[in-house]
A and B are shown apart, each in its own frame.
Chain A
Amino acid sequence: SAVISQKPSRDICQRGTSLTIQCQVDSQVTMMFWYRQQPGQSLTLIATANQGSEATYESGFVIDKFPISRPNLTFSTLTVSNMSPEDSSIYLCSVYRDLNNEQFFGPGTRLTVL
Chain B
Amino acid sequence: AQSVAQPEDQVNVAEGNPLTVKCTYSVSGNPYLFWYVQYPNRGLQFLLKYITGDNLVKGSYGFEAEFNKSQTSFHLKKPSALVSDSALYFCAVRDSSNDYKLSFGAGTTVTVRA
Contacts and interface: CB of A to CB of B under 8 A. Distances in A.
A104 B100 contact: no
Q: Chain B interface residue count: which class? A: 20 to 34
A106 B104 contact: no
**Listed residue (A1, A48, A101) with the most chain B CB atoms within 10 angstroms of its CB:** A101
B interface, over-half SS:
loop
B103 to A, nearest CB: 8
Given A48-B99, A92-B43, A108-B43, A101 B51 contact: yes
Interface in A18-38: 31, 33
**Listed residue (B36, B90, B99, B101) with the most chain A CB atoms within 10 angstroms of its CB:** B101
A103 B102 contact: yes
Q: Chain A interface residue count: which class? A: 20 to 34
A45 B106 CA distance: 13
Given A42-B90, A45-B101, A105 B32 contact: no
A43 interface: yes
Interface string A38-78: 00011111001000000000100000000000000000000
